[in-house]
Amino acid sequence: FGVTHAEGIFVVGLSPHILAPRVQKIRETEAAAGRDPSSVKVFASITPVIGRTREEAQAKYDEALQYASEEGGLVYWCGNTNIDLSTFDPDTEITEQDAGTSDTRVQSLVSNLSYKGDDIPKWTPRNIGKAVALGASGPVPVGTAQEVADEMERWIDIADLDGFNVGHITTPGTWEDVVEFLVPELRRRGRYAPKGESGTMRERVYGSGQSRLKDDHHGSKFKFAVYRK
């Protein structure tokens, strides 16, 4: 459905290596459907904690942890997946088979459990609760704007992402830090639009002049030069 109708797809995972094969499959399916593989933009969830210094960012993160609820995070994950992890020991590693589901709406969340890379903790109920409590199953990079931008670029390079869906921990707080510190750094790297960019939302994604659906989109066949009254 997404490859046919979407212009953007949101994905979530704790490691870019989880998302890389998923994004590759999206691109391949687009091509097989006759669309440009870059037509559907893929955005990953990320929740940055930014400070002027690494120490300031770590202090913000440590304070946020005091208010984060491991149990609340686990309830959120179980509610989204319709899988009850309360029957498992909190420190028992959960496999994709243990949490098996035929619900296609949550398969991407459940399939994350098959990843066993050393860049994330084991998939235990306790660790799932901790991860979701702050980052909603996505990464929570902690550091200066330069360090967070480095991490974002690493994810882009590994997973072939087009951008990020930025989450927040505090408000006010997170958004202000993103605007004040992260956006200028991303602009310096050519990763964010320059100031004063005009155009429609679609043009900001696809480029100037692309204010309507691209020709390879299913909906473009329903366009009219002049609509009948």
Instruction: Output the CA torsion 54→58→61→62 (10° steps).
Output: -170
pLDDT recorded at residue 229: 66
**CA dist., res. 67 & res. 136, Å (int):** 15
The domains of the chain, with CATH numbers, are 2-192 (3.20.20.30)
Whether residue 28 is predicted with pLDDT greater than 60 in this model: the reply is yes
**Chain Cα centroid distance, residue 127:** 19
**CA dist., res. 58 & res. 215, Å (int):** 47
pLDDT recorded at residue 188: 97
SS3 104: coil
Give the predicted TM-score (pTM) of the model: 0.88
Per the DSSP assignment, residues forming a β-bridge with 164 are 44
**CA dist., res. 220 & res. 213, Å (int):** 6
pLDDT recorded at residue 111: 73
Share the mean pLDDT of the chain: 90
Q: Which residues of 21-34 are buried (b: 16+ CB within 10 A; e: fewer)?
A: ebbeebbeebeeee
- Percent of the chain past pLDDT 90, that is, above it, reads 65
- Which residues 6+ apart lie within 8 Å of 86 measured at CB? 78, 125
Instruction: Judge contact between 136 and 167, C-beta under 8 A.
Output: yes
**CA dist., res. 8 & res. 162, Å (int):** 9
Q: What is the mean pLDDT of residues 165-180?
A: 96
pLDDT in tens, 126-147: 999 999 999 888 999 999 999 9
Structure tokens at 118: 């050393």
C-alpha dist (Å) from residue 163 to 23, 34, 210: 12, 23, 18
- Percent of the chain past pLDDT 70, that is, above it, reads 93
Name the residue among 111, 103, 108 with its Cα closest to residue 82.
103
SS3 200: coil
What is the helix (H) or strand (E) element at residue 45, kind and residue range?
strand 41-46
Locus of tokens 């050519």: 190
The residue type found at 187 is R
C-alpha dist (Å) from residue 108 to 18, 23, 183: 10, 12, 29
Least confident of 111-115, 145-149, 166-170, 174-178: 111-115
